[in-house]
């Protein structure tokens, strides 16, 4: 008999094994692509132009997204109106919205035959083109403006109401003493996050960019693999992209934590000058313009896609079934991996979970196909490889949804579990899983929605009978069958949001408080 209680801690080896697997997967894929190159590679003028364009468009996109989000978040912070909660909830929709669906909606508004050009022609003005740098930036602002608003709104909500009362009693400028210091703390980090997202954009550049003057690094990798099969150039571009992202990711550590403004008694905030007519009109204008910009493309998709939904050809429905299978497979694979990393914790787990953000999905998929080629026919496994890559790319989001909850549960119940000497299996069943249902459901829904709308690896290796719904929609747009593309977009939008709602609702249904 043991003379003292022996604590049986949650084993760390599953998380360590997952971390090693992820590192080996990405490192092996990049090495396979590089070794498959037959000759040394040097970058040409077009490749350096793609690198410059990538940095320029990411800087413009992040700068505009953050600058426009400040007045919108400020207006939402100091106004209460009917539907405010629903509007703030809808601000999260573009993040899980399939990129190709949003692009079709933007084309319906800003494209050659869109509403904006129709108004310009009616007014006797020349039409505008959405293709090129300004189109890529417009699409990125559409996706990242809501994210920036949500994050900046949290910053405003972090300022205690007592600070506003004190500023009002002292007749001190609120902007100078409260709002500007808060924005100075959080804006650099938010801008850097948006910059990282825009840096790895592929579907936006594929549909709205292209050409020598509007090619991103990711699109240049796609062209090197798809058209030239230049593995060396693809590997070198992927390494450059990884280096840029890794440097920016390390730089983001200094912006990770903002200072606290102190404790609050949860009193309602009394905004100075909020009842002035000019202030009310400005807030209403910013909220109205942001809602119109974000919701108009979705409204056009609903209006134009509904009549075409019933007449979609059979291959589109078959592609939808394949996309569902890929999304469910990615979710079933990514959630346990993210849970193992979150339970392990530490820098190794954080590094493994962050690695997909700095990697090229196209190079990862190509490397896997090269590694599989000696054993099986890779084209027959295109959907499986797509599901694996989508699962890897969903790891960062799932890990960040689970890690904070795991830390709280460990702090609250860890000592009790050790005192009871709970075995690892019992601890997982009775301690972790019941209390992680909510973040697990949210993570599963997010991965399923993102995988459902992904247009990445499948764009390289899709063959007859392996087309996913985003690829089928892209082909319809390329054939100028815009009505059928609108119906496919509505179907893809419904399936993506439906998957997210089902998983998220399932996680919240019986979650413990």
SS (H, E, C) 257-285: CCCCCCCCCCCCCCCCCCCCHHHHHHHHH
Name the residue with tokens 């996913």: 468
Tell me what the mean pLDDT of segment 488-499 comes to. Answer: 88
Nearest to 290 by CA among 75, 60, 83: 75
What pLDDT does 157 receive? 65
Q: Tens digit of pLDDT for each residue in 99-148?
A: 888 888 888 888 887 888 888 888 888 888 888 888 889 989 998 888 88
What pLDDT does 159 receive? 63
Rounded to whole angstroms, the Cα distance separating 324 from 451 reads: 9
C-alpha neighbours within 13 Å on the C-beta side of residue 325: 14
Residue 259 has pLDDT above 60, yes or no: no
Cβ(59)–Cβ(195) below 8 Å: yes
Alpha helices in 277-313 (DSSP H): 277-309
Cβ(128)–Cβ(120) below 8 Å: yes
What pLDDT does 386 receive? 87
Tell me the CA distances in angstroms from 66 to 63, 178, 195, one per residue in order. Answer: 5, 19, 10
Q: Tens digit of pLDDT for each residue in 357-399?
A: 777 777 888 888 888 878 877 777 888 888 888 888 888 888 8
Reduced to 3 states, what is the DSSP secondary structure of residue 21?
helix
What pLDDT does 64 receive? 93
The domains located in the chain, with CATH, are 40-303 (1.10.3720.10), 310-513 (1.10.3720.10)
What pLDDT does 265 receive? 39
What pLDDT does 262 receive? 44
Residue 280 has pLDDT above 50, yes or no: yes
Residue 222 has pLDDT above 50, yes or no: yes
Of 174 and 199, more confident: 199
Angle of the 217-226 helix axis to the 361-372 helix axis, nearest 10: 30
> Cβ of 71: how many Cβ atoms within 10 Å?
18
Rounded to whole angstroms, the Cα distance separating 240 from 83 reads: 45
Rounded to whole angstroms, the Cα distance separating 399 from 443 reads: 8
Rounded to whole angstroms, the Cα distance separating 279 from 75 reads: 9
What pLDDT does 513 receive? 39
Tell me the CA distances in angstroms from 3 to 6, 289, 416, 419, one per residue in order. Answer: 9, 70, 19, 14
Residue 75 has pLDDT above 50, yes or no: yes
Lowest mean pLDDT among 6-20, 78-92, 221-235, 301-315: 6-20
Rg value, the chain, Cα: 24
Of 70 and 202, more confident: 70
Mean pLDDT over the full length of the chain: 77
DSSP state of 214: S
In the chain, count H helices and then E strands. 24, 0
What pLDDT does 498 receive? 87
What pLDDT does 428 receive? 63
Nearest to 328 by CA among 379, 387, 368: 387
Q: Tens digit of pLDDT for each residue in 324-353?
A: 999 999 999 998 888 888 878 777 787 788
What pLDDT does 416 receive? 57
């Amino acid at each position: 008999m043991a003379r003292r209680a022996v604590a049986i801690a949650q084993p760390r080896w599953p998380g360590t094994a997952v971390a090693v697997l992820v590192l080996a997967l990405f490192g092996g894929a990049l090495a396979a692509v590089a070794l498959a190159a037959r000759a040394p590679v040097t970058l040409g003028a077009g490749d350096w132009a793609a690198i410059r364009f990538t940095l320029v468009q990411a800087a413009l996109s992040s700068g505009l997204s953050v600058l426009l989000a400040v007045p919108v978040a400020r207006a939402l912070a100091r106004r209460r109106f009917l539907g405010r909660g629903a509007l703030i909830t809808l601000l999260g929709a573009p993040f899980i919205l399939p990129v190709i669906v949003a692009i079709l909606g933007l084309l319906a508004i800003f494209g050659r035959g869109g509403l904006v050009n129709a108004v310009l022609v009616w007014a006797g003005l020349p039409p505008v083109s959405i293709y090129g740098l300004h189109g890529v930036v417009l699409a990125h602002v559409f996706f990242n403006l809501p994210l920036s608003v949500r994050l900046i709104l949290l910053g405003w909500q972090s300022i205690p109401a007592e600070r506003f009362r004190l500023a009002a009693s002292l007749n001190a400028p609120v902007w100078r003493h409260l709002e500007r210091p808060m924005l100075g703390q959080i804006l650099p980090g938010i801008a850097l996050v948006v910059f990282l997202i825009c840096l790895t954009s592929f579907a936006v550049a594929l549909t709205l960019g292209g050409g020598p003057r509007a090619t991103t690094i990711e699109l240049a990798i796609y062209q090197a693999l798809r058209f030239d099969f230049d593995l060396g150039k693809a590997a070198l571009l992927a390494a450059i992209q990884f280096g840029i992202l890794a440097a920016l990711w390390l730089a983001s550590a200094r912006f990770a934590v903002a200072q606290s403004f102190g404790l609050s008694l949860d009193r309602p905030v009394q905004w100075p000058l909020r009842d002035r007519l000019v202030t009310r009109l400005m807030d209403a204008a910013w909220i109205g313009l942001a809602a119109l910009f974000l919701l108009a493309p979705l409204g056009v998709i609903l209006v134009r896609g509904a009549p075409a939904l019933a007449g979609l050809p059979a291959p589109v429905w078959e592609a939808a079934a394949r996309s569902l299978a890929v999304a469910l497979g990615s979710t079933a694979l990514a959630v346990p991996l993210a849970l193992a990393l979150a339970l392990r914790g530490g820098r190794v787990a954080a590094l493994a979970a962050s690695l997909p953000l700095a990697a090229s999905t196209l190079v990862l998929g190509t490397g896997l196909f090269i590694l599989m080629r000696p054993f099986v026919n890779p084209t027959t496994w295109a959907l499986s490889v797509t599901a694996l890559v989508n699962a890897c790319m969903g790891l960062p989001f799932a890990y960040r949804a689970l890690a904070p909850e795991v830390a709280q549960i460990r702090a609250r119940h860890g000592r009790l579990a050790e005192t009871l000497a709970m075995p690892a299996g019992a601890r997982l069943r009775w301690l972790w899983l019941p209390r992680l249902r909510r973040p697990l459901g949210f993570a599963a829904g997010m991965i399923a929605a993102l995988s459902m709308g992904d247009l990445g690896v499948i764009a390289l290796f899709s063959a007859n009978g392996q087309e996913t719904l985003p690829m089928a929609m892209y082909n319809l747009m390329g054939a100028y069958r815009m009505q059928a593309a609108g119906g496919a977009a509505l179907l893809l939008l419904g399936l993506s949001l439906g998957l997210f709602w089902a998983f998220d609702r399932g996680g919240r249904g019986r979650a413990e408080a």
